[in-house]
């Protein structure tokens, strides 16, 4: 029961945050449409915005594993409507559709919306990668392939650090809060778009990290031969263990060599001091 309430409190807290983000996004859309003297109803944007709101709410509860039948029903309806599997993909798709109706001017809000769209596309790729890596980690730990599990966690941590860095950059791009003397808003816009797009290009259909790409290619070749997949995971674990041992040996050898050089240098200095 305690766990249930903790999940609920966490979900409500996240819900409050994402709704604030959604309201901010909607205001920017309305400002762009207002500048172009367009309404949101006749362009169909109202429907898109309402669906985006639903996805935002569903994501907050899904993230905290607070999921009830009503949420799943709404999710199934929206997934069927847009033909998209994950919530991050759906959000990226909806914002892209909304932005198609918001390219009528060159005010800062338009640039912010474009950066938001690019970032959501990146987040969809990132979400897919992290989800698959976590699933692989579950399989690795089940098979007691702990070396592989540690490597997976290292890859996830690096991806999470990159995602957090990009998120901070995007959050600092709000038009009314932007104040960077070293870079104009236009320059920052170009920098962010280029950075995000180059990061997206690092993701292929089979993943971004070498580890996940290798696993997905291997799993595809194995098909439904789960015994072969199991052996492959254990082989990868053994390979990583050997690599770690080799790395430790190289480290120890390097330490001994450095120690020898230090001793020889001290001896030479001692000899020279006698003359």
Distances (CA, A) of 99 to 65, 94, 110, 117, 194: 31, 9, 8, 8, 18
pLDDT at 73 over 90: no
List pLDDT tens digits, range 156-180.
Answer: 999 999 999 999 999 999 888 877 6
| Count of the separate structural domains present in the chain | 2
Structural domain includes residue 258: no
Residue 265 falls within a domain, yes or no?
no
The proportion of the chain whose per-residue pLDDT surpasses 70, expressed as a percent, equals 78
Of the candidates 33, 35, 63, the residue with the CA atom closest to the CA atom of residue 49:
33
According to the model, what pLDDT value does residue 239 have?
83
| Residue 221, in any domain of the structure | yes
The answer as to whether 211 is a domain residue is yes
Based on C-alpha coordinates, what's the Rg of the chain? Answer: 26
Same domain, 178 and 126: yes
Q: Would you say residue 127 lies in a domain? A: yes
199-246: pLDDT as tens digits: 999 999 999 999 999 999 999 888 889 999 999 999 888 888 776 554
pLDDT confidence band for 5 (50 / 70 / 90): low
Residue-wise pLDDT tens digits, 179-195: 766 788 899 999 999 99
Which of 70, 105, 140 is where one domain is finished? 105
Show the domain range for 233: 106-249
168 and 39 within one domain: no
Same domain, 25 and 154: no
Looking at the structure, do residues 243 and 153 belong to the same domain, yes or no? yes
Mean of pLDDT over the chain: 82
User: Which of 70, 86, 105 is a domain's end point?
Assistant: 105
Contact, 59 vs 91, CB < 8 A? yes
Given 105, 125, 151, the domain boundary residue is 105
pLDDT of residue 140 exceeding 50, the answer is yes
Q: Per the domain annotation, does 7 fall within a domain?
A: yes
């Amino acid at each position: 029961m305690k766990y249930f309430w903790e999940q609920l409190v966490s979900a409500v807290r996240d819900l409050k945050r994402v709704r604030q983000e959604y309201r901010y996004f909607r205001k920017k859309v309305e400002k762009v449409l207002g500048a172009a003297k367009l309404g949101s109803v006749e362009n169909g944007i109202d429907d898109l915005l309402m669906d985006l709101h639903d996805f935002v709410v569903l994501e907050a509860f899904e993230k905290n594993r607070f999921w009830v039948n009503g949420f799943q029903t709404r999710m199934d309806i929206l997934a069927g409507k847009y033909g998209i599997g994950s919530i991050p993909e759906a959000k990226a798709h909806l914002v892209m559709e909304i932005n198609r109706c918001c390219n009528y001017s060159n005010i800062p809000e338009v640039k912010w919306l474009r950066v938001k769209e690019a970032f959501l596309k990146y987040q969809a790729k990132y979400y897919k990668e992290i989800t698959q890596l976590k699933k692989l980690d579950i399989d690795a730990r089940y098979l007691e392939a702990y070396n592989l599990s540690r490597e997976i966690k290292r890859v996830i941590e690096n991806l999470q650090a990159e995602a957090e860095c990009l998120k901070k950059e995007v959050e600092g791009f709000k038009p009314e809060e932007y104040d960077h003397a070293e870079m104009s808003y236009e320059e920052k816009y170009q920098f962010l778009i280029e950075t995000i797009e180059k990061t997206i290009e690092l993701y292929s259909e089979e993943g971004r990290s070498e580890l996940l790409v290798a696993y997905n290619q291997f799993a595809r070749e194995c098909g439904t031969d789960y015994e072969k997949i199991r052996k492959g995971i254990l082989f990868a674990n053994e390979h990583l263990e050997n690599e770690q041992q080799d790395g430790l040996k190289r480290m120890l050898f390097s330490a001994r060599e450095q120690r020898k050089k230090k001793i020889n240098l001290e001896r030479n200095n001692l000899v020279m001091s006698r003359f």
